[in-house]
Amino acid sequence: MFPAGRPERHPDAFVLSSRVKGEEMKAVCEVWQDASGWEARLLISGRYVLASTVVPNVMAIMETSARWQFAMTALGWHE
C-alpha cells in the first residue's frame, strides 16, 4: 500500500453532466486509495464536494459509486 498522506488517484468511477440554472455542470466520482483504504469523492464542477466516503475495499467503492450514479441519473444527470 501507500504511505499515509500519499494517496493514489484511480480512474473516475463515472462522469455525468446536467444543466443547472443555465450553467452546464459536471459531476465526477473520483476514486482514491491510500494506506487506510479507498475513498470515493463526488464533486460537482470541481468546486463542490457533494459526498465523500472511505471504505475498506474496491468492491465497496463500486457499490457506492453505482448508488450515487443511479441517484443522480434519476435526478436528470446524464453521461
Question: Is position 38 within any domain?
Answer: yes
Residue-number span of the structural domain to which 15 is assigned:
8-74
- Specify if 36 maps to a domain: yes
Based on the structure, what is the number of domains in the chain? 1
pLDDT of residue 21: 87
Long-range contacts of 41-48 (CB under 8 A, 24+ apart): 42/68
Does 2 reside within a domain?
Answer: no
> pLDDT value at position 2?
44
Q: Is residue 43, in this structure, part of any structural domain at all? A: yes
Sorted by sequence, the CB contacts under 8 Å of residue 71 that are 6+ apart come out as: none
Q: What is the pLDDT of residues 47-79, one digit of tens each?
A: 889 899 999 999 999 999 999 999 999 999 999
Structural domain includes residue 3 = no
Give the strand pairing for 8-20 and 48-55: unpaired
Give the residue-averaged pLDDT of 9-34: 95
In-domain check, residue 32: yes
Cell numbers of 22, please? 443555465
- Residue 39 counted as domain residue: yes
- pTM metric for this prediction: 0.87
